[in-house]
Amino acid sequence: MTRVLFVFLDGVGLGPPTEHNPLHTLDLPALSALAGGQRWTADAEPVRQPAHVFVPLDATLGAEGLPQSGTGQTALFTGVDAVALHGRHYGPYPPTATHETLRTDSVYNRLQRNGIESLAFANAYPERFFRAMEARGRWTATTRMARAAGVRLRTAADLAIGHALPADITGERWRRHLDPDHVPVSPAEAGRRLLALARECRFTLFEYPYTDTAGHGRDGLRPEHVLPEVDAFLGEILRQRGETDLLVVSSDHGNVERPTTKSHTRNPVPLVALGPGAEAFAEATSLLDVTPAIVRALTA
């Protein structure tokens, strides 16, 4: 029985292979393997094999301006053109015009309507996140859709027993900013923990925001800080992945590939599907095609 693990990397685009593009200059062997031995750049050739797909996706959805997280993530996780719903790119939070779509047509909803109930969102959130969201009502696309579908948002208690992952993969930022007693783990150990969680469900999502943070140059983060950790994390998932595990990796817009500008880009974003059912993703061309492909892969 196929199980999908979707690793969502915020703000990762396929840009030109220049000396300023860290996805071109850094040694990232796992990312290269996911692209069929190529670097994650605009000149990478698509891979379309029965159990391995790597293709670029349009993140602009035909609209002017720079793609943003609110509309981009809504499109990615629903298959609905959120830019058309709102009238323009918008972020970082999903605009009001998309809330009903996230409530009823997310990847979680669509899988539930097809009889697939074992669904998970692997990220752990601290108590102060819940207090802030309840006070402001400004939920992210992923937390809004998970709550609406009845998919549990995991907490510090889950993280403490290894049943969730912090957003930064290792937990170093969780220790530094939230809990000095928290013990960080290696990217490889985090990858093993995520795979263990994913094997309990038919569909598991993990969201990594710090590629976008590094692209913006915020919080002292640079691409060379975060990309090697992401690579080690994904590398362990690749090593430990079983024959029923379908790994999906994608993004919502470009950013980290051009750290010189501190803003998003209009570059295409990568889509990786590796494992049984990957052929469902072979003809994907935009953000709108990912959720329908996940549903096809799990219901074929």
What is the distance of C-alpha 86 from the center of its chain? 22
The sign of the dihedral angle between the CA atoms of 212, 166, 1, 274 is positive
Is the Cβ–Cβ distance between 187 and 169 less than 8 Å? yes
Number of structural domains in the chain: 1
Rounded CA gap, 289 and 134, in Å? 32
Q: Which of 200, 73, 193 is nearest to 142 (CA)?
A: 73
Residue 62 pLDDT > 90, yes or no?
Answer: yes
Average pLDDT over residues 77-86: 98
pLDDT of residue 136: 84
Rounded CA separation 291/113 (Å): 13
Query: Which among 272, 271, 265, 296 has a CA at the least distance from the CA of 286?
Result: 271
Residue 25 has a pLDDT of: 98
Contact in structure between 127 and 155 (CB atoms under 8 Å)? yes
Residue 247 clears pLDDT 90, i.e. is over it: yes
* Distance, first Cα to last Cα, the chain: 11
What is the spatial distance between Cα 224 and Cα 229, in angstroms, rounded to a whole number?
A: 9
pLDDT at residue 271, rounded to an integer: 99
* pLDDT over 90 percentage in the chain: 91
Assign residue 267 the CATH number of its domain: 3.40.720.10
Per-residue pLDDT band at 240 (split at 50, 70, 90):
very high
Q: What is the mean pLDDT of residues 3-30?
A: 98
Secondary structure class of 252 (helix, strand, coil): coil
Which residues lie below 8 Å from residue 177, measured CB to CB, with a gap of 6+? none
What is the rounded CA–CA span in Å between residue 112 and residue 154? 20
- Cis upstream peptide for 46 (omega within 30°): no
Q: Which amino acid is at 195?
A: L
Place of tokens 């690579």: 231
Q: What is the mean pLDDT of residues 123-138?
A: 89
Residues in the chain: 300
Domain that holds residue 259: 3-299
17 SS3 class: coil
pLDDT (average), residues 223-241: 98
The CB density around residue 113, as the number of other CB atoms within 10 Å, is 12
